[in-house]
Every structure is written in C-alpha cells, then in structure tokens.
Amino acid sequence: MKISFIGGGNMASALISGLAGKFTPGSNIHVVDPSPEALERLTQAHGVTAAHAIGDEVRSSEVVVLAVKPQQMREAAALLQPQLGAGTLVLSIAAGIRGADLSRWLGGHRAIVRTMPNTPALIGRGITGMVAMDGVSEAQKTAADAIMKAAGQTVWLNDEALIDPVTAVSGSGPAYVFYFLEAMQQAAVELGLSAEQGRELAVATFAGAAELAARSPESLQVLRERVTSKGGTTYAAITSMEESGVKDAVVKALKAAATRGRELGEEMGAS
C-alpha cells in the first residue's frame, strides 16, 4: 500500500517511524513538505521518497495522511484537492479540524477518517482515537486501523464530537507526563540527588506504574492506596497534593485542551 504524508513535522515523523519497515517498506511512503530539513531527516532515517510539492506520487497513493498544523490545513487541502483520486482514503491527524470542513475544502471528498494519534507512536507505543466520516468503506476503515495500529493501539469513536476529549487526554497527554516527570526530576535535585538520578528514578517509576496499571484489573484508586500507608511518606505527599488542588488542576487543564480543540474547529471552519 502506498501512503503519502502531507506535512513531515513532529507527528508525521513519529507515525512514519512506527510504519516504515513494519507496516510497509519506507519506499512505499511518500512525504510532501516545503521544509528541506524535514525531508532530509525522513529520507535518511526511513528511506521514504520526498517532494516539496504534491505530485504524481500523491496522485497514485491509496492513502493520504494530512499532517499539517490546523491553521495550515485549509491551504494544504486546497493544494491536494485537484490531485486527489475519488477512491483515495484521507486520514487527518489535525486537532480540531472538523470532517465536514475538510470534506468541503477537498471538493466534497467523503472518504475521510479523523484521527488523533500521539507521539509515543515513534516507538510503536502510541494510541490513536479514530472516527470515520460517512463515505468511508469497511475496507478503508480496516486499512486506516491497520495503519494506526502499526504505531500502537487504536480506539474507534462513533461520535466525532468525542475526538476533542481524546485530544485532551491522549493526543496532548504525553506533554502532561513529561511535565510531571520534569517536576519529579526538579524535586529530586532539590532533595540532593543528581539530575541524571532524578530522571532515571522518575521515568522508571512512571513506566513501571503505568505498566502495572495496564496489566492490573484493579481500579487506579486501589493501586494508589496500596502505595499509601496511613501516616507514611506517600500519605504526606498525596495529602500535600490534595491541599494544593493538583487533581482539580489536572481536570481543569484537560477541559481547557478539549475546549481549545472545539474552538480551533470553529475558528478554522469559519475562516
């Protein structure tokens, strides 16, 4: 299967790392990006073909992945539209951009799947929320699922409105994890450990706890309570976090991300 990426930035690079050599040989992946650095990096790392503008390779692709910023999507769609075969499956990874707007910008093209991946796709450990527009065939849904599964797990949604909450939880989620890890590393340093030790301890703890949660049938609350001896060290830390309103702040932050996704869709759709 020949797949073209329009946009070869951060998220496209992560997906291509998951796909190339596993789902399909790198030579079956084509990347269009005006940035010579982006193209050089991807051709060197994965043996993909590359171009500065949309051409024959895109026209002959079964799947086109739109991987530009939401603000760049309308222009990218306008450039793609005259080159797009009627039966080509379009995957959008953009936050906010609504399927109906994208379809309009693509001249009424209906075979569109909206997806929300995340950067752990880079190591095959991503998770992607997906929703198919009306014109997507079962075979195209299967193909879209297989492509995203090459970069990790997939979760299908039957309501497009839920892609903004998915963006808030898992699309943006890796940044929250890195933010929390940064805080743990800073605390480690302030408590006398080296930055390297702080990073090693924090990252291994996060990875181990996440894997334990993934494998355990028990609730997250029970897993947390197992660490928390009454009157002990964890109790002191969790009590301090509750007093500082950490959980409420996290909930508020994710709601802000979901709202921003909706706003982006409205702003770009109206433009």
Ligand X SMILES: NC(=O)C1=CN([C@@H]2O[C@H](COP(=O)(O)OP(=O)(O)OC[C@H]3O[C@@H](n4cnc5c(N)ncnc54)[C@H](O)[C@@H]3O)[C@@H](O)[C@H]2O)C=CC1
Beta strand pairing status for 126-132 and 63-66?
A: unpaired
DSSP 3-state of 67: coil
Contacts with ligand X by CB under 6 A: the residue count is 28
- Cα–Cα distance, 110 to 88 (Å, whole number): 9
Within 158-177, the residues that bind ligand X by CB under 6 A are 171
Beta strand pairing status for 112-116 and 3-6?
A: unpaired
**With CB cut-offs between 5 and 8 Å by kind, which of ligand A1CAB, ligand X, none does residue 106 bind?**
none
Residue 128 in contact with ligand X, rule: CB under 6 A:
no
Residues in CB range of 139: below 8 A, 6 or more apart: none
Nearest residue (CB) to ligand A1CAB, 39 versus 95 = 95
Instruction: Tell me the per-residue interface mask from 168 to 207 with ligand A1CAB, x by CB under 6 A, - otherwise.
Output: ---xx-----------------------------------
Residue 140 in contact with ligand A1CAB, rule: CB under 6 A:
no
- Cα–Cα distance, 206 to 52 (Å, whole number): 40
70 labelled binding-site residue? yes
Output the residue with the shortest Cβ distance to ligand X.
9
Residue 262 in contact with ligand X, rule: CB under 6 A:
no
**With CB cut-offs between 5 and 8 Å by kind, which of ligand X, ligand A1CAB, none does residue 69 bind?**
ligand X
What is the nearest approach in angstroms of ligand A1CAB to the Cβ of residue 183?
20
Residues in CB range of 206: below 8 A, 6 or more apart: 177, 180, 181, 184
Cβ atoms of residues 66 and 117 within 8 Å = no
